[in-house]
């Protein structure tokens, strides 16, 4: 049931800003000299003989995604296009060719689906135009009837608990009474009846055991850490039984109970640096260390479907590695490793654990998904996610370690253009333009694996460097806490140090580096062009905050119970020193220092980084007479879900980058026509945009 309870669960870890030629002039507008692109010979010559990967192949709908198997093993499910939109399909496991679509989403792709524990229905969530108010829906497999299980407005559902033993019910959280607090309800999947279990006016989240009994409530404490309270007979104890300080708040969390409720697992960094796996006896409170790694926090676990016992865990430093604790699971993982190239993982397991749905990411080929029969030791192809990428020039991702100016190791990932590294050393024969691609969060991380942005940018002739700067998650609490109150300071220094590393290694030249990212990565882009205006040739900001004070003043209401996390890690606007820190780190107040090209993309319905964050820096740049290109998507939120909008955005981005870095680009053409993109400012600064069909 862990796959169910992870869906839309509120924990500190998910409260982040994390995600997804010469410019033409018209109407008498000629870009100033600083905004006119030049051509870097190495970019063009490196990629000349390499086929151009179409944007559609990378950012359009996949052929299939989200492969699942029902708990009873009788049905397969996945998402695939139906009338151009990703919908849920099912087929009998005994006859996968007898597939049928069972949902009818007409505009936004279904972001997540999962099987009800009784295998009688498919459940899925959907929001409206990116507002992140996810509602829960049910499709009856036998009849095809659809039911809205949470028929409320301005409400976001959380899945608190599912059960191996009680298959017709779920525990869910709903904030329809008060947008800040999720009340706990028992949902009867057969009838749709909701029964209030606990009215919540104080706690950020809850945890239940396999009997769907509430066992724990979480609440942020005054220090910015987390207090954990036992729940008995749906009443929360007055005093916590466990607590963390702020320094452990993002690296310590309970990881669920065994089905009999006798063991509570923890991923815990208290008294150590990296989060280790512990088992706590719920009767005595005694904890036993099960596994640890000095390089990285332990992450995902594999749990026995019938008992909830941890059977394997993942260590993800530079690459993700599974370590088995159960002999039978070890045999299965070892066999899969012998059969598959690259990374692999498990999407779903049947209740009897006889069948797994396994994904395989070879990096330089499209991801494949298989049906794994453990007893027979067979892998049956389920689907290839993007078969059109087969045979295309996909490039390797190189894990690298970069040393910051103060001695921190920054785990990073480098992708190079095809043909630029004939010796396979991870260093191009000649410098090529580089895009510094900054992840969101910031309390998240970049990882090893197929990445659409890396592949598109490398295909256009650029090196792509993704850096886990201080404050990134997964590398121990010391590394994460080194980013506290360092927005625009040491966190930004790490990015600058990575650029200097790339220049020093001969990967790129100092005048041919762009910065690009979404969410916190968008903020880093704005910081790069304002705090260090001479470092980057241009920048691409996707839903990035420009003013940290207004960002914190407009967080979603359901984040309010965890606001201390932001104050302790960014700056407290309620104190003079905190407010000064936030203002000093806000690119808005330095917008007049921008002198390099900037592309800004924003979703109008973003609940995390409001449209005003982009509007205000665009207004400041206009007031200072600084050109900017600004594209707004009225039907999107924090990132772009609709493939039409993704394709339109990357059409703008690659042609914008070609203008300032000299790489190649698929022409804009009609890419904007099926999208909702609105070019608010600066069409003249993206090659081909002012003459493109559509907007």
> CA angle 192-194-196, nearest 5°?
170
Angle between helices 643-661 and 452-459 (to 10 degrees): 40
Q: What is the DSSP string of 311-357?
A: EEEEEESSSEEEEESSHHHHHHHHHHHHH-SSEEEEEEE-TTS-EEE
Q: Return the residue matching tokens 């008992």.
A: 307
- The C-alpha atoms of residue 576 and residue 563 are separated, in whole angstroms, by 18
- The C-alpha atoms of residue 246 and residue 244 are separated, in whole angstroms, by 7
- The C-alpha atoms of residue 131 and residue 644 are separated, in whole angstroms, by 18
- The C-alpha atoms of residue 695 and residue 692 are separated, in whole angstroms, by 8
Is 259 designated active site?
A: no
Of 268, 361, 493, 606, the active-site residue reads 606
Q: Return the residue matching tokens 């009767």.
A: 283
- The C-alpha atoms of residue 310 and residue 302 are separated, in whole angstroms, by 6
DSSP 524: H
Q: Tell me the C-alpha to C-alpha distance, in Å, between residue 453 and each of 84, 317, 436, 647, 676.
A: 22, 21, 11, 12, 21
- The C-alpha atoms of residue 426 and residue 540 are separated, in whole angstroms, by 25
Of 497, 572, 638, 675, the active-site residue reads 638
Q: Break the chain down into helix, strand, coil percent, rounded to 5.
A: 20, 30, 50
For residue 90, what are the β-bridge partners? Answer: 77, 100
Is 182 designated active site?
A: no
Q: Return the residue matching tokens 């869906």.
A: 7
What is the H or E stretch that residue 540 is in?
strand 538-542
3-state secondary structure of 527: helix
Q: Under a CB-based contact definition with an 8 Å cutoff, are residues 230 and 218 in contact? A: no
Q: How many residues does the chain have?
A: 695
Q: What is the DSSP string of 590-642?
A: GGGG--S-EEEEEETT-SSS-HHHHHHHHHHHHHTT---EEEEETT-BSB--S
Of 343, 404, 519, 586, the active-site residue reads 519
Q: Tell me the C-alpha to C-alpha distance, in Å, between residue 255 and each of 69, 237, 251, 299, 478.
A: 23, 20, 12, 10, 21
- The C-alpha atoms of residue 582 and residue 572 are separated, in whole angstroms, by 8
- The C-alpha atoms of residue 593 and residue 605 are separated, in whole angstroms, by 29
Q: Tokens for 79? A: 């998402």
Q: Under a CB-based contact definition with an 8 Å cutoff, are residues 540 and 656 in contact? A: yes
Is 119 designated active site?
A: no
> So which residues are the catalytic ones?
519, 606, 638
């Amino acid at each position: 049931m862990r796959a169910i309870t992870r869906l839309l669960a509120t924990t500190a870890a998910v409260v982040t800003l994390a995600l997804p030629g010469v410019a033409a002039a018209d109407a008498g507008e000629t870009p100033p000299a600083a905004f006119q692109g030049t051509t870097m010979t190495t970019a063009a010559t490196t990629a000349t003989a390499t086929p151009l990967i179409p944007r559609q192949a990378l950012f359009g709908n996949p052929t299939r995604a989200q492969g699942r198997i029902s708990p009873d093993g009788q049905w397969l499910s996945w998402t695939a296009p139906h009338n151009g939109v990703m919908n849920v399909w099912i087929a009998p496991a005994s006859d996968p060719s007898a597939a049928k679509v069972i949902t009818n989403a007409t505009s936004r792709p279904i972001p997540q689906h999962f099987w009800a524990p009784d295998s009688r229905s498919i459940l899925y969530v959907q929001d409206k135009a990116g507002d992140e108010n996810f509602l829960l829906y049910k499709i009856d497999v036998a009849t095809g009837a659809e039911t809205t299980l949470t028929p409320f407005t301005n409400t976001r559902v959380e899945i608190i608990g599912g059960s191996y033993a009680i298959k017709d019910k779920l525990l869910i959280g709903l904030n329809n009474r008060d947008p800040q607090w999720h009340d706990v309800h028992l949902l009867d999947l057969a009838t749709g009846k909701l029964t209030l279990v606990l009215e919540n006016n104080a706690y950020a989240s809850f945890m239940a055991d396999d009997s769907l009994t509430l066992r724990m409530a979480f609440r942020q404490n005054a220090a910015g850490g987390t207090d954990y309270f036992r729940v008995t007979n749906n009443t929360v104890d007055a005093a916590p039984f466990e607590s963390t300080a702020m320094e452990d708040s993002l690296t310590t969390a309970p990881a669920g109970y065994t089905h009999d409720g006798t063991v509570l697992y923890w991923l815990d960094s208290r008294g150590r640096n990296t989060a280790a796996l512990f088992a706590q006896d719920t009767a005595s409170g005694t904890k036993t260390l099960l596994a640890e790694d000095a390089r990285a926090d332990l992450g995902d676990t594999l749990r026995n479907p019938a008992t909830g016992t941890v059977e394997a865990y993942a260590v993800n430093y530079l690459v993700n590695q599974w370590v088995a604790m159960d002999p039978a699971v070890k045999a299965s993982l070892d066999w899969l490793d012998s059969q598959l190239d690259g990374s692999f993982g498990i999407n779903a397991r049947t209740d009897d654990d006889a069948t797994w749905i396994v994904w395989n990411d070879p990096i330089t080929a499209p991801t494949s998904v298989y049906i794994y029969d453990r007893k027979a030791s067979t892998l049956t192809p389920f689907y290839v996610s993007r078969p059109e990428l087969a045979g295309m020039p996909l490039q390797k991702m190189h894990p690298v370690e970069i040393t910051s100016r103060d001695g921190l190791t920054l785990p990073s990932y480098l992708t190079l253009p095809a043909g630029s590294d004939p010796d396979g050393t991870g260093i191009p024969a000649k410098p090529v333009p580089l895009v510094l691609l900054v992840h969101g969060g910031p309390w998240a991380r970049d990882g090893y694996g197929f990445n659409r942005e890396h592949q598109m940018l490398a295909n256009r002739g650029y090196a792509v460097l993704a850096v886990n700067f201080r404050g990134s998650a997964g590398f121990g609490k010391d590394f994460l806490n080194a980013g506290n109150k360092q927005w625009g300071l040491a966190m930004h220094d790490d990015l600058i140090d990575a650029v200097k590393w790339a220049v020093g290694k001969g990967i790129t030249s100092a005048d041919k580096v762009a910065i690009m990212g979404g969410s916190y990565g968008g903020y880093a882009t704005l910081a790069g062009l304002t705090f260090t205006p001479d470092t980057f040739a241009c920048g691409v900001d996707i839903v990035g905050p420009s003013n940290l004070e207004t960002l914190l003043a407009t967080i979603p209401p359901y984040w309010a119970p965890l606001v201390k996390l932001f104050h302790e890690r960014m700056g407290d606007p309620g104190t003079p020193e905190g407010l000064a820190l936030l203002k000093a780190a806000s690119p808005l107040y330095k917008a007049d220092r921008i002198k390099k090209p900037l592309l800004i993309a924003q979703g109008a319905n973003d609940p995390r980084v409001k449209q005003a964050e982009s509007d205000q820096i665009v207004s400041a740049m206009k007031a200072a007479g600084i050109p900017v290109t600004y594209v707004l998507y009225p039907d999107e939120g924090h990132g772009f879900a609709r493939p039409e909008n993704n394709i339109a955005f990357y059409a703008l981005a690659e042609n914008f980058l070609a203008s300032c870095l000299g790489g190649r680009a698929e022409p804009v053409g009609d890419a904007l026509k099926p999208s909702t993109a609105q070019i608010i400012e600066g069409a003249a600064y993206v090659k081909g945009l002012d003459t493109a069909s559509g907007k």
